[in-house]
């Protein structure tokens, strides 16, 4: 695996990982993989099929699902589910689904195969700790629950979507608890991750800060650019 050409971008729900990863991919000319979209696609399929918890422990059922992510589009069995996987139902259940070993095993294998191609930016919750632990750069993005709730609320269109800021804040806090306390691949920064507090920063400032760190590391180790 050409891990020297992989950037791992981890952090909690609503911190802006995918937005930043897309911008970084544009700046570097690399490919972005939103790993959370893969877990959401599995969750969407599970809910559509009837949400039997036992299916999540059955490799046969999981292997019947063809999940892919290309050019910002999430495909499930040949269908574009990019919008469907952002529903509130999926958001509420994805942490539960992703806590199952069979689910993580299947999707981790897909993510590693893609990362092996190099020049990849992967964002998720366990990229630097589990998926690509020897990535060229591991960034762990932080932001307060209040800030992340506000970002998500604005992303959803504010009051126009009928969801209060308070309800979104509660959902974000609950997702944090689930992600941080699950037994399998809990949310935490890698021991050598670069911690970036995004609370006081704009999107442009976050991108600029990470790009500065990328260039610093490339200058320190020129072979990483190849």
By residue range, what is the domain housing residue 48? 3-225
For position 2, what pLDDT does the model report?
A: 40
CATH number of the domain where residue 131 is located? 3.40.50.300
The helix (H) or strand (E) run that includes residue 103 is helix 101-115
For position 154, what pLDDT does the model report?
A: 86
At which residue do the structure tokens 């630097």 appear?
128
β-pairing verdict for 79-80 and 73-76? antiparallel
| Nearest-angstrom CA–CA distance, 58 and 78 | 22
pTM surpassing 0.75?
yes
For position 88, what pLDDT does the model report?
A: 85
| Nearest-angstrom CA–CA distance, 125 and 142 | 12
181: buried, middle or exposed (CB in 10 Å: 19+, 13-18, 0-12)?
Answer: exposed
Could you list the mean pLDDT of each consecutive 10-residue stretch along the chain, which spans 226 residues?
77 93 96 94 97 95 93 93 93 92 94 92 95 95 96 78 85 91 90 96 97 90 60
How many helices (H) and strands (E) would you count in the chain?
8, 8
Q: Is 121 helix (H, G, I), strand (E, B) or coil?
A: strand
For position 215, what pLDDT does the model report?
A: 92
| Nearest-angstrom CA–CA distance, 5 and 161 | 40
Q: How many domains does the chain have?
A: 1
For position 160, what pLDDT does the model report?
A: 58
B/e letters for 73-101, b = 16+ CB within 10 Å, e = fewer, are: ebbbeeeebbebbeeeebbebbbbbbbbe
């Amino acid at each position: 695996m050409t891990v020297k050409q992989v950037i791992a971008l981890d952090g909690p729900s609503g911190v802006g990982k995918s937005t930043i990863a897309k911008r970084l991919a544009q700046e570097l000319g690399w490919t972005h993989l939103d790993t959370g979209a893969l877990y959401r696609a599995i969750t969407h399929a599970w809910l559509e099929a009837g949400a039997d918890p036992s299916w999540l422990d059955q490799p046969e059922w999981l292997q019947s699902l063809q999940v892919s992510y290309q050019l910002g589009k999430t495909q499930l069995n040949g269908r574009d589910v990019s919008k469907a996987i952002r529903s509130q139902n999926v958001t509420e259940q994805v942490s539960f689904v992703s806590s199952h070993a069979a689910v993580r095993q299947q999707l981790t294998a897909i993510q590693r195969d893609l990362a092996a191609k190099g020049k990849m930016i992967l964002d998720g919750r366990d990229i630097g700790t589990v998926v690509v632990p020897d990535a060229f750069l591991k960034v762990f993005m932080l932001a307060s629950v209040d800030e992340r709730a506000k970002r998500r609320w604005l992303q959803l269109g504010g009051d126009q979507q009928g969801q209060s800021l308070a309800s979104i804040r509660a959902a974000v806090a609950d997702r944090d608890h689930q992600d941080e306390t699950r037994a399998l691949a809990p949310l935490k920064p890698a021991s050598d991750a670069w911690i970036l507090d995004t609370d006081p920063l704009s999107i442009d400032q976050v991108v600029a800060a990470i790009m500065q760190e990328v260039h610093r590391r490339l200058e320190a180790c020129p072979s990483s650019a190849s």
